[in-house]
Amino acid sequence: MLDVRRLRLLCDLSRLGTIAAVAQVHTYTPSAVSQQLSVLEREAGVALLERTGRRVTFTAAGKVLVQHAETVLAALEQTTAALAAVAATGLSGPLRIGAFPTAVRTLLPAALVDLGRRHPGLELMVTECDPVAVPAALRERRLDVGLLHDYDIVPVQADPRLEAVPLLDETVFLAIPDTTPAGGDALRDVQDAAWVLASPGTLCHTVTLHVCRTAGFTPRARHHADDFATVLALVAAGQGVSLVPQLAATQPPAGVRLIPLATRRRTRIAYRRGAATHPAVAAFISALHDSTASWRRSRG
């Protein structure tokens, strides 16, 4: 019989590439991971890995087992969801939620209040995190649900180990000091301005570069900031211009003008494949959709 925990290690090795990386994720030693994978090979009765020094590669049998293991792990999620659905008691236990800062401030509070009122047995645990970190946290079972986003001009490839449902499609604004003259082409009008950019390597930084280059110029960075409240404060102080999504622009400071652009940011609720029917996951999705609908109505 193949051990599920060892199957997870094998799948993580396929995803992460090295035993050292797998060990770090699971807080094991590399030696312990290697030992567990060796046991899995004995359970399978075939060689799964080829070892050359410190490097490992998958055999044909190893690749086949990874494919089937992903299906097994998804089936286990479905089984857990089905058992929870027929349980006689109400929803209880931890529900670990990962969300990016603007969603935590705007969409999540009302959903948490609703969930707490309807399901007082749920232990709601929120972690503020960058959407880039959410897929790994879901796969590693550090989160049960998480919010992801991408932009229509820079789509992110879906993770086959996860499922997701759409939540919000929002406008992206060009934020400029209100003393800046506004012409007919907002982006071209600020091509010579200083910019407040996100940190290099982040999705927001990539999106800003893409938007500006599509408009025919490369933005000149003066400041780098990842918190949108900081970004808007710098814009209000006349320190530059920037791009901000609608969730971050609900209450801009005095001195900022927001010009809507064609670019859209798209947010999704993600969870492990097979977990969609888990009552706690389904309840969270429903509550967050309701709070998002209320937020939309409040924005007119």
Instruction: For domain 4-84, say whether CATH 1.10.10.10 is its number.
Output: yes
Q: Is the pTM of this model over 0.85?
A: no
Give CATH 1.10.10.10 domain extents, the chain: 4-84
Q: What is the pLDDT of residue 246?
A: 95
Is pLDDT of 179 > 60? Answer: yes
Q: What is the pLDDT of residue 79?
A: 63
Is pLDDT of 88 > 60? Answer: no
Half-sphere exposure of 197 (CA within 13 A, CB side): 21
Task: Say what angle helices 279-298 and 108-118 make with each other, to 10 degrees.
Answer: 130
Q: What is the pLDDT of residue 175?
A: 96
Average model confidence (pLDDT) for the chain? 87
Q: What is the pLDDT of residue 87?
A: 60
Q: How many CB atoms lie within 10 A of CB 264?
A: 16
Residue 181: pLDDT band with limits 50, 70, 90 = confident
Instruction: For domain 90-300, say whether CATH 3.20.20.210 is its number.
Output: no
Residue 85: pLDDT band with limits 50, 70, 90 = low
Q: What is the pLDDT of residue 294?
A: 93
| Mean pLDDT lowest among 80-84, 126-130, 248-252, 277-281 | 80-84
Is pLDDT of 268 > 90? Answer: yes
First to last CA, the chain: 58
Residue from 26, 141, 163, 162 nearest 94 by CA? 141
Residue 37: pLDDT band with limits 50, 70, 90 = confident
- Residues 50-76: tens digit of each pLDDT: 887 667 888 888 888 887 877 777 777
Q: What is the pLDDT of residue 17?
A: 79
Is pLDDT of 245 > 50? Answer: yes
- Residues 189-202: tens digit of each pLDDT: 999 999 999 999 88
More confident position, 184 or 175:
175
- Residues 286-295: tens digit of each pLDDT: 999 999 999 9
